[in-house]
Amino acid sequence: MSPARRAAAGLARWPRYYRSELRIAFGRPRNLLMLAALAGAPVFFGIVLKVNTPEPGAGGPSGAGEFIGQVAENGVFLSLLAIYALLTVLLPLAVAVVSGDSVAGEAGMGTLRTMLTVPAGRLRLVATKYATIVTFSLAACLIVAGMGLLMGVILFPVGRVTLLSGDTVPLADGLGRLALIVGYVAAGLASLGAIGLALSTFTQHPIAVMAATLVVVIISEILDAISQVGAIHPYLPTHFWFSFDALLRTPIAWPQILHGLASFAAYAVIFAGAALVRIRRADVTC
């Protein structure tokens, strides 16, 4: 087969390979448990806020507080609260775990050598793994937002959405903004997934990758909170993660959103690129 025909066949049959990778990521009992925990968090938040209803505006002026105070008035905010609360550790953890599995996990189990002799193709394998990580990131965000919305609808009144800027928009508009937020947060997590993927190509211990990826998140968040190092803030991988509040203002602060997406894209390109370079050169000895 000529290289061109092989490339065409590889592309045509890629969806089958991608689906089989998704079945692993979403079929692994441990990952299902993790997704269940992510789904359970909004339920927990909803029940707590229902039992112990805060005064409007009681949560404080910024961060999660902005949302907590509004949940009782509009259930849609439970979804935002859940995303906000889980984005600090739990959502990154889910992505870190899947990144650890991606290459390091396969190497540790020995399945990497089997896949490469099939041959899956080294670059094709890593690209498919990244597509799976991105899909998993999006799914995790959708689950959190979806369960938040569901519980919000069940437990609280739902109606026109009062934005952070004080304006009120129709419910449909509010839900549209929620969908954009889910996409934005998933993009941020996907950029973290690229870092995890790159780390994953250097070891056969998925736990090490998971821990290192989380350390990246935590150090980045700590540095981001220290104003003395403000000069490096825009370059931190997590700096723009919480900028999604720009989508809750009128008019939407698009420059802020685009700046965030550019940062995510830069991280994704650099680290996914590093993973591809590394896998090409690596000796697979396990």
Chain residues in the site for another protein (CB under 8 A): 1, 3, 6, 9-10, 13-14, 16-17, 19-20, 23-24, 27-29, 109-111, 113-121, 124-125, 281, 283-285
CA distances from 1 to 32, 90, 104 (A): 40, 47, 32
Identity of the residue, 53 or 114, whose beta carbon is nearer to another protein in the bound complex: 114
Kind and range of the H or E element at 154?
A: helix 122-155
Identity of the residue, 204 or 243, whose beta carbon is nearer to another protein in the bound complex: 204
Identity of the residue, 64 or 116, whose beta carbon is nearer to another protein in the bound complex: 116
Give a three-class secondary structure readout of 4-71: HHHHHHHHHCHHHHHHHHHHHHHHCHHHHHHHHHHHHHHHHHHHHHHHCCCCCCCCCCCCHHHHHHHH
CA distances from 91 to 15, 101, 108 (A): 26, 16, 24
Smallest distance from the beta carbon of 285 to another protein, in angstroms?
6
Local structure of 169: helix, strand or coil: strand
Smallest distance from the beta carbon of 185 to another protein, in angstroms?
29
Look-up of token digits 């061109």: 4
Q: Is 170 exposed, middle or buried (0-12, 13-18, 19+ CB in 10 A)?
A: exposed
For the chain, give the longest Cα–Cα distance: 70
Identity of the residue, 101 or 224, whose beta carbon is nearer to another protein in the bound complex: 101
Amino acid present at 91: L
* Sequence-ordered list of residues with C-beta below 8 angstroms from that of 102, at least 6 positions apart, any chain: 129, 130, 132, 133, 196, 197, 200
Smallest distance from the beta carbon of 1 to another protein, in angstroms?
7
Residues 193, 93: Cα–Cα separation, whole Å: 10
Smallest distance from the beta carbon of 36 to another protein, in angstroms?
16
CA distances from 176 to 161, 182, 233 (A): 11, 10, 29
